[in-house]
């Protein structure tokens, strides 16, 4: 019998998740169908429960419902608890388990696909929204030298630092919050754009000398060259988009649902060629 899964969001029609999971299922021989659910902005809970009651086995949750998904879940994985948000729901034995695979997705893309060492490195995260909350714990567990959170609204960056206070010990030089202006004179080995600015083709005001020699500039938006990626390339960094993170977080969800870990590289290559 085919098991049913879907990605739920608003908007959701351009999601690559159905293509990614169809390819995972084909490659691993799993009998699943994976669709999209466009939920009304005030209708996440009803849509998710209707899918479950119709024998759905799990959901990926995208903007703007990750906090609501947290509230819907009966249990939360360690990753979901750290992030305070859920992007993967598993329906099993009448209970709803909540997970967050975004952070694992970024860490795996950096390490396994891009050959980028996080340990001992200076990391700058731009933004202080859901994506930053999702990636903080897995990044800190890789033992960076330091993590700086820069955000347009400083208070939100300060709140991120406070939320992860107990994990500060994993970064030898700690975690701190700054405005973009206060970045002047600092250099980083890994700079992650976790703002939604790239979607609107603008970029946060970064100093030109922000990149240390050999730095990696990681744009969470995928599928196109953003202003941040262009800026990074012009200023000596290696720039990559977030497609690998998307595929890696999907692979982790697939593993949570099916207990089988699909190969990601062929799917990343397939989507880059599409």
Query: Which residues does the annotation mark as catalytic?
Result: 66
Say whether residue 149 binds ligand NAP (CB under 6 A). Answer: no
Q: Which residues lie below 8 Å from residue 82, measured CB to CB, with a gap of 6+? A: 100, 103, 133, 136, 137, 164, 167
Q: Which residues lie below 8 Å from residue 210, measured CB to CB, with a gap of 6+? A: 124, 183, 186, 187, 188, 191, 235
- In whole angstroms, the minimum distance from the beta carbon of 226 to ligand NAP comes to 9
Contact status, residue 180 vs residue 204, Cβ threshold 8 Å = yes
- In whole angstroms, the minimum distance from the beta carbon of 268 to ligand NAP comes to 12
Determine which residue in the list 18, 35, 84, 129 makes contact with ligand NAP, applying CB under 6 A.
Answer: 129
Determine which residue in the list 73, 245, 267, 271 makes contact with ligand NAP, applying CB under 6 A.
Answer: 245
* Residue 200 phi, psi dihedral angles, 5° rounding: -100, 10
67: its two tokens: 């906090």
| Listed ranges 37-45, 167-175, 196-204, 262-270: which one lies at the site for ligand NAP (CB under 6 A) | 196-204
Strands (E), the chain: 3-9, 32-38, 56-61, 75-76, 88-92, 95-99, 122-126, 146-150, 175-178, 188-193, 211-219, 238-240
Binding mask 60-79 for ligand NAP (x = CB under 6 A): ---x----------------
Say whether residue 84 binds ligand NAP (CB under 6 A). Answer: no
Say whether residue 103 binds ligand NAP (CB under 6 A). Answer: no
Say whether residue 152 binds ligand NAP (CB under 6 A). Answer: yes
Residues that bind ligand NAP (CB under 6 A): 63, 102, 105, 127-132, 151-153, 156, 194-199, 202, 204, 220-222, 242, 245-246, 249
């Amino acid at each position: 019998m085919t098991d049913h899964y879907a990605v739920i969001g608003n908007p959701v029609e351009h999601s690559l998740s159905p293509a990614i999971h169809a390819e995972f299922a084909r490659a691993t021989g799993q009998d699943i169908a994976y669709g999209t659910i466009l939920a009304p902005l005030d209708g996440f809970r009803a849509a998710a429960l209707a899918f479950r009651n119709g024998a759905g086995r799990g959901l990926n949750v995208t903007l703007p419902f990750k906090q609501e998904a947290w509230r819907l879940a009966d249990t939360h994985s360690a990753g979901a608890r750290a992030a305070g948000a859920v992007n993967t729901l598993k329906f099993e034995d009448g209970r709803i388990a909540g997970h967050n695979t975004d952070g694992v997705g970024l860490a795996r893309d950096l390490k396994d696909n891009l050959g980028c060492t996080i340990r001992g490195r200076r990391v700058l995260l731009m933004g202080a929204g859901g994506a930053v909350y999702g990636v903080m714990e897995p990044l800190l567990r890789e033992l960076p030298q330091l993590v700086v959170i820069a955000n347009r609204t400083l208070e939100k960056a300060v709140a991120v630092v406070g939320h992860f206070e107990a994990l500060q010990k994993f970064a030898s030089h700690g975690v701190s919050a700054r405005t973009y202006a206060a970045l002047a004179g600092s250099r980083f080995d890994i700079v992650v754009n976790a703002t939604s600015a790239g979607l609107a083709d603008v970029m946060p005001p970064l100093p030109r000398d922000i990149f240390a020699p050999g730095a990696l500039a990681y744009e969470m938006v995928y599928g196109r060259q953003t202003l941040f990626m262009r800026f990074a390339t012009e200023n000596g960094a290696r720039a990559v988009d977030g497609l690998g993170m998307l595929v890696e977080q999907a692979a982790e969800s697939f593993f949570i649902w099916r207990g089988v870990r699909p190969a990601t590289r062929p799917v990343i290559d397939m989507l880059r060629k599409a």
